[in-house]
Copies of this chain bind each other. A is one copy, B any other.
Amino acid sequence: MSTIRVQREDRVATLSLSNPGKLNAIDVFMWESLRREFEALSADTELRCVIVRGEDGNFAAGADIAEFAQVRSTPEQALHYHNEVIAPALQAIAGCLHPTVAAIDGVCVGGGLEIACACDLRLAAPEAHFGIPINRLGFPLAPGELQGLLQLIGKARTLEILLEGRVFNAAEAKEKGLLHRIEHDVRTAAQECAQRIANGAPLAARINKQMARRLTPQAEALSSDEMRAAFSWVASQDYRDGVQSFLNKQAPNFQGK
């Protein structure tokens, strides 16, 4: 059963993504738990740092695609799923009062990569792999999630990842600016990093984090028409075929409609 587990040790909390047998794919229940857990962690002023990781050797695969037929079949559902379920979870991570460190091993793709990118620091094992291979599934990245990636690595690298849909290794991820460091023992390295952060002044860390967000330039917000246009693909044949082909383990044959 999918779950978000939170452990605390002294002033450092560790949040673990878990969806056994599904590479920790993030289902709606997990997105909503992520939001709740991060809101609770953020409210706990005794904390100094939060580590985010996945269980059983993987960080997280993307969203749980098996759910799409149920939760993302109409434009209304897609707007709700991305803007009311995923966006608030990613905002809760990015807006957490405390510094956050992603400890990445194994698969870190799609929604998993989005969670990692919402953290302040990203350390990864050399064998971890990365990507957003949704061009084979027939849909684009939702605007809110796209914005996070653009802010981190810029338009050119974001488009390479999305247009090619390749899965790539930690060295390439670091070169693209997705990672701060590659660490052979990533869990120990994340603990040491969290300790180092925990030994600094917490008020200073919180102000640094909050002001760095505030002072990063933002594009003008999308109008509601632009937002709907960004989800126009939901009604396409290619989206239905792409997801169906994925679930049937077949190659899709997109028609552009």
Contacts and interface: CB of A to CB of B under 8 A. Distances in A.
A134 B211 CA distance: 15
A143 B238 contact: no
A139 B229 CA distance: 42
Contact of A238 (B201, B215, B229): B201
A135 B140 CA distance: 40
A141 B218 contact: no
Interface string A220-241: 0010001001101100101100
Given A135-B201, A222-B214, A209 B163 contact: yes
A108 B95 CA distance: 31
Interface string A83-121: 000000000000000010000000000000000000011
Contacts of A229: 207
Interface residues of A, number: 71
Interface string A120-137: 111000000000001111
A172 B226 CA distance: 38
Number of copies: 3
A208 interface: yes
Contacts of A238: 201-204
B218 A230 contact: no
Contacts of A219: 214-218
Interface in A142-158: 143, 146-147, 150-152, 154-158
Given A204-B238, A238-B203, A212 B150 contact: yes
A21 interface: no
A54 interface: no
Given A99-B163, A196-B164, A233 B216 contact: no
A13 interface: no
Nearest to A255: B202
A159 interface: yes
Given A238-B201, A254-B201, A233 B217 contact: no
A247 to B, nearest CB: 16
Contacts of A199: 136, 254
Q: Which of A140, A193, A222 has its CB near the most chain B CB atoms (within 10 A)?
A: A140
Interface in A182-215: 193, 196-197, 199-205, 207-209, 211-215
A9 interface: no
What are the nearest 3 A-B pairs in CB distance?
A135-B200, A217-B217, A140-B207
